[in-house]
Amino acid sequence: MCRGVRRAVILGIRAQHPDIGDEELRVCLMVRLYGRSEALRVFDHVPDDAC
């Protein structure tokens, strides 16, 4: 995935969730780019309301 797309998604997440922490941002980014099922394979916990 190109860096520009990843950066655009991160900026969108930060715009919608200005107080999001780094770990939450990583989870949210993974969910948006690859889906919740893939995020669950990488992270121990993915909240039901993750982005």
For 14-48, the pLDDT digits (tens) are 999 999 999 999 999 999 999 999 999 999 999 98
50, burial (CB in 10 Å: exposed 0-12, middle 13-18, buried 19+): middle
pLDDT over 70 (residue 1): no
Q: Is residue 47 part of a domain?
A: no
Q: Is residue 24 part of a domain?
A: yes
* Domain that includes residue 10, residue range: 3-42
Q: Is residue 48 part of a domain?
A: no
Q: Is residue 50 part of a domain?
A: no
In sequence order, the 6+-apart residues with CB closer than 8 A to the CB of 50 are: 24, 27, 28, 31, 36, 39
Q: Say how many domains are in the chain.
A: 1
Q: Is residue 51 part of a domain?
A: no
pTM, 2 dp: 0.85
Q: Is residue 31 part of a domain?
A: yes
Q: Is residue 12 part of a domain?
A: yes
Amino acid at 13: I
Q: Is residue 49 part of a domain?
A: no
pLDDT band at 11 (very low <50, low <70, confident <90, very high): very high
**How far apart are alpha carbons 38 and 42 in whole angstroms?**
7
